[in-house]
Structure 1
Amino acid sequence: MSGLKIAAEFFPMNERDLDAVAALEASLQIFPWSRGNFEDSLTAGYSVWVLRLGGDLIGFSVVMSVIDEAHLLNIGVCKRYQGQGYGARMLRHAMECARLGGAAKLFLEVRPSNERAVELYRHFGFRQIGTRKGYYPAVVGREDGLIFDKELA
């Protein structure tokens, strides 16, 4: 072996990716998005991307833009590749796509129990601007959603 490292690359999500993206999402979430949710995002023209390492799909993001604002609807990285900087790359890419699409601000919601994600968003300068009470389904009852935003300009 030459020790060459394979670079991860971004590609626009397409119909052929839907099964793999839905399977990845199901491996990450207790209450995952369905394949139909991702398909609807494609159909709606959202900014939907996958991250591939070699031929393997290791991450995805979904961003909805409206006028000069964008909303990060979903983002995920395969558990095997978490903690290696791929989540940060996905987030940077999502922010840049939103900015290039004309968004001045990016919003998102996150579970307080998703401490790694909360830490990542804060690291990138997102600030908590509110809480949606009972926003997420939980194993018992509901879990709040922390609302974050970040200026992109």
Structure 2
Amino acid sequence: MANFCFAVMDNEHISAVQSIEQLAHSHPWKPSMIADLNGRGAFNYVLMVSGQVVGYFYAQNIVGEVSLLNIAVAPEHQGKGYGRVLLSEFLKQCEGRNAESAWLEVRASNHAAISLYLAQGFNEVDRRRDYYPAAQGREDAVIMSHYFLFSGEF
């Protein structure tokens, strides 16, 4: 894996993120959603390799409960461990914000992502039936959560 760094997502990253979004997702976010960086509790990061955006995540922290809203790695960089690196940074950022829990939804057909989330301490807690549009019909969303251990004194 090449040297990488993280940066807080800024307007200068939007076109690269939009491009990855279009290539990495079957039903990508609208450009207006990609460009919205300042929503309530938002913290959004890009993963850079040699000055190039290769992945990103959008997250929202509302009173200690964090939602991972979107995460992607450019298709040409998939399979290199960058998804694990992005998810690890997301969890690190959650802990730094004293989050109690993190939540996400993932397509039931996305077995690689589900395996990654399970390996990083997420657990399946529920399903939303027929939630996501699919090429033919709809598919379930798997709802997953991760709880952080409280390190303070009781």
Taking structure 2 as the reference length, the TM-score comes to 0.91
Find the aligned partners of 1:140 and 1:15 in 2 and give their Cα distance. Answer: 35
Provide the secondary structure at the position in 2 that maps to 1:118.
helix
Question: Residue type matched to 2:30 in 1?
Answer: S
| Residues 41-120 of structure 1 aligned to structure 2 (within 5 Å) | 42-44=37-39, 46-120=42-116
1:43, CA displacement in angstroms? 2.0
Find the aligned partners of 1:6 and 1:87 in 2 and give their Cα distance. Answer: 14
Find the aligned partners of 1:74 and 1:116 in 2 and give their Cα distance. Answer: 15
Mean alpha-carbon deviation: is it higher for 5-14 or for 44-53?
5-14
Q: Which runs of 4+ in 1 moved over 4 A?
A: none
User: What per-residue deviation string (whole Å, max 9, x for no partner) do you get for residues 2-23 of structure 1?
Assistant: xxx8411100000111111011
1:47, CA displacement in angstroms? 0.8
Segments of 5+ residues of structure 1 without an aligned counterpart are none
1:86, CA displacement in angstroms? 0.8
Segments of 5+ residues of structure 2 without an aligned counterpart are 150-154
Find the aligned partners of 1:39 and 1:98 in 2 and give their Cα distance. Answer: 22
Mean alpha-carbon deviation: is it higher for 30-39 or for 60-69?
30-39
Question: Residue type matched to 2:94 in 1?
Answer: A
Q: Is the 8 A contact 1:131 1:147 kept in 2?
A: yes
| Aligned residue number for residue 12 of structure 2 | 16
* Aligned Cα root-mean-square deviation (Å): 1.3
Provide the secondary structure at the position in 2 that maps to 1:43.
coil
Aligned length: 148
Q: Percent identity?
A: 32
